[in-house]
Structure 1
Amino acid sequence: MRRLAPYQTGLWLAEYLDIRCQLCRRYRSTPQSKLLQYQEQSSQYKLSEPSIQTALKKRSFLTHIGSRANSCLSSGLLCAHCHNDMTWLPRPFEVDIAPSISLSIQASTYYEYPIRQAIRAFKHQEDMTKLSLLLHAIRQLPRPHGCHRNNSVIIAMPTTSQRLVKRGFDPVSILSAQLSKHWHIPLWQGVKRIDDTVSQQGLTRAERLSNLDNAFAIIEKPPKKRLLLFDDVSTTGASLQALARVFVSFEHARKINTKSYRNYHISAYALAHGNQM
C-alpha cells in the first residue's frame, strides 16, 4: 500500500474524522448535498451551481474508499453558515505593472478570522489538518474565462531556498498544485526567487516594493500565452506585482531582440486578501 504524504494524511483526518466545522469549530459540519441546496440561493457574486458541483466532486483524493464508508463519513468540512460566508468572493483589485498596464488580483476569501488562523497554522506550524479547509476556499475561485490546459499555465509564487530549508516545505506549491488539479491547468516552474530578500510581513507597501526589486528571475521562456500567477496571501499585491513585472520586462526584451514576440496575458490569484498585521 502506498504511503500517504503528511499533507494527504491531514486531508483525510480533517475531511473524514472531524464532524465539527473546520472554521468556527462550534457547529457540526454540513453534508455536501445540503451545502449545494444552500448554494442554489446564492447571489450574483457567488459561484454557479455547476461550478460548485464540479469542485465538490474533486474535494477528496479518497473518494474510492467505497460508498458505505462515504455514507458514514460524509459530514463535510463546514457548517452552512461558514460555507456561505466563504463563497462570497472579494472584489478583484488592481496594481500597476507597467505604463497603461495593470494586473488584476482575485482572492478566494479575506485574510480575516478564522481563515487567517487556519492559514497561519498551516504555514507556520505545519498543521496539515487545515489544508482541506484552505483547498475548499481555493475551489471557490472561478477558472479564468477562456483559459485551459492548452493555452495557460499556473505560476506559483516562488520561495527562496533559505526559506524552504527553514520551513521544510513550500505551502504555496502545495496549494497551487491543488488549484492546478481543480482548473485542469498545468503548473510551470520557470521562475526562481533570489535569496537576498527578506520576509514581506510587517513591511509597508513602499518597503515591500523596494524589497522585491530584482527578487525574481526567469530561467526559461514561458510555454503558454496566458500566465496565471498564484500566491497564498496578497496584502498589498506587491509580490504578485513584482512577479508580473518580470514577465513584462522579459516580454519587452524579446520584442526588441527577436521577431518571435509573444504577447503574454497575465492575471493573478490568491487564497486570501487582506492585512497581515
Structure 2
Amino acid sequence: MQRLTPYQTGLWLAEYIDIRCQLCRICRSSPYPELHQNTLDSESSSDRLVQATSTQTVASHKRRHQLSQHFSTGLLCAACHHSVVWLPKPFTVDIAAGITLSIQAATYYDYPIRQAIRTFKHDEDMTKLPLLLHVLRQLPRPHGCHAGNSVIVAMPTTNQRLVKRGFDPVSILSAQLSKHWQIPLWRGVERVDDAISQQGLTRAERLTNLDNAFALIQPPSVKRLLLFDDVATTGASLQALGRALYGTSPTRTADQSPPTHLYQMHAYALAHGSQL
C-alpha cells in the first residue's frame, strides 16, 4: 500500500471526517460534487474520474466514486465556497516580441484566501491546505491538454530558500493540481538565483530581480507547457519563467516573424490581484 505523506493524511481527514466548514468553522460543510455543480468547470467529477483511468475498469472507478461521495463531508459550506470562488479574467504578459503568456488564476488574492496563503507559506500551517486545494480545483483543465501532450511546470525555488523555509509550498500545490488534472509534473528547469523576495517590489523591480533566474536542465519532451505559481501578483515570476523556456526552444530562428513551432505555454496560479 502506498504510504501517505502527513499533509495528504490531513487532506483526507478534512474532506471525509470533519463536518464543519474549513473556513467559517460554524456551518456544516457540503460535499464537493454538490458545490461543483455551480462552478465554471466544464467536466463533471465523475467524468474526470472515468477519464483518468487506463489500468482499472470503468465499473470499479464508478463504485469508488460512489463510495467517496457517500462518505465525503466536503470542505466548505455553500456560502463560504461562493465567497472565495471568483474565477478572475485571464491576463497576459509579454515574453517575446509578438508572443504573450496567458495567466489564469483560480481566485483573487483577497481575504480570506490571502491570509490562508500567507500562513500556509510562511508558517507552514498545513491546516490551510485543504481550503487552498478546494479553490485550486476550480481551475478548468486546459482544453486539449492531457498526459500525452502536456506537462505542468511548477515555479522552482532555490536551495537557499528551501532550506530557510523547510518546505516548498508550490511543489505541494502543483502536485495536487497534477493529480486533479491527470497531467504530469516536469522538473526540467531550476532556479539559479538567490534574489531577494518578490514581495514589496514594483513590477519593474520584479523583472530586474528575476533576470537570468532560471536555467534549463533538460528540454521538455512535449510542446504544451502549463506553468504554475501560487500567487501571480503582477505575473513577473511566470513571465521570467516563460521567457527562459521560450529562449531554449530548439526551433527558434531569427527570420521567423512571428516564430512558429515553439512551446505552447499557458500559465496558472492559485490567486491573483484583487477584485476590489
1:51 is matched with which residue: 40, 44, 52? 44
CA distance in 2, matches of 1:161, 1:5: 21
Gaps of 5+ in 2: 53-62, 255-259
Match for residue 93 of structure 1? 91
The 1:274–1:254 alpha-carbon spacing in structure 2 relative to 1, beyond 3 Å, is same
Match for residue 233 of structure 1? 231
Number of positions where the alignment pairs a residue of Structure 1 with one of Structure 2: 258
CA deviations 1:166-199 (Å, max 9, x no partner) are 1111111111111111111111111000132111
Match for residue 15 of structure 2? 15
CA distance in 2, matches of 1:79, 1:17: 14
Partner letter of residue 223 of structure 1? S
Match for residue 25 of structure 2? 25
Identity %: 68
Q: Contact between 1:15 and 1:76, CA under 8 Å: does it hold in 2?
A: yes
CA distance in 1, matches of 2:220, 2:266: 14
CA deviations 1:211-234 (Å, max 9, x no partner) are 000011111111111111000010
CA deviations 1:70-124 (Å, max 9, x no partner) are 75x5321011012233443110011111111111000011111111122122211
1:215-230 matches, within 5 Å, as 215-230=213-228
- Cα distance, 1:268 vs. partner? 0.3
CA RMSD of aligned residues (A): 2.7
Q: Contact between 2:158 and 2:193, CA under 8 Å: does it hold in 1?
A: yes
Moved more, 261-270 or 171-180: 261-270
1:103 is matched with which residue: 101, 106, 110? 101
Gaps of 5+ in 1: none
Q: Contact between 1:108 and 1:137, CA under 8 Å: does it hold in 2?
A: yes
Q: Contact between 2:105 and 2:270, CA under 8 Å: does it hold in 1?
A: yes
Q: Contact between 1:106 and 1:268, CA under 8 Å: does it hold in 2?
A: yes
CA distance in 2, matches of 1:33, 1:265: 32
CA distance in 2, matches of 1:244, 1:238: 10
- Cα distance, 1:150 vs. partner? 1.3
CA distance in 2, matches of 1:123, 1:156: 15
Match for residue 115 of structure 1? 113
1:127-206 matches, within 5 Å, as 127-206=125-204
1:198-277 matches, within 5 Å, as 198-251=196-249, 254-256=251-253, 262-274=261-273
Q: Could you tell me the TM-score, scaled by structure 1's length?
A: 0.83
Moved more, 84-93 or 107-116: 84-93
